[in-house]
Amino acid sequence: MRVYVLNGPNLGRLGTRQVDVYGMTSYADLVSMCVETGQELGLDVVVRQTDAEHELLGWLHEAADEGAAVVLNPAAWSHYSIAVRDACAMLRAPLVEVHISNIHAREEFRHHSVVSAVATGVICGLGVDGYRLALRHLASRAAVEGRSA
């Protein structure tokens, strides 16, 4: 089963950006962790990051066209991008929204995600482990639904 792990703005700066909030894991380490976790679970994981909203929209459209599952950290776009939300609503397979930090324990403007209403589930505040949990969920869901994981 193909799973896209898509990351929004500034996530390419992991390991150097606000380490007190996002931790010391580098983006390269996050990519490796997601790919390795996917291999363990029998998933074909593709990890991408962009600071360009139109690029993320294209990837979401690609996932919708393929019927692929998505793990999405929309980052700042979570809070205001109706375009990202609408692209997520087009997905035909599960969508797990992931946030490294607990968005509900941060600034008020971060408390609401426009994406959450169209997500299958949301994981926040568990650091990069949230990505592992999202992939495990998708693999177990595929097994229950009888799709190859």
Q: Write out the catalytic residue numbers.
A: 22, 99
CA–CA separation, 126 and 82 (whole Å): 25
Instruction: Give me the half-sphere count of Cα atoms (radius 13 Å) on the Cβ side of residue 35.
Output: 9
In a 3-state reduction of DSSP, which class is residue 99? strand
How far is C-alpha 116 from the chain's CA centre? Answer: 12
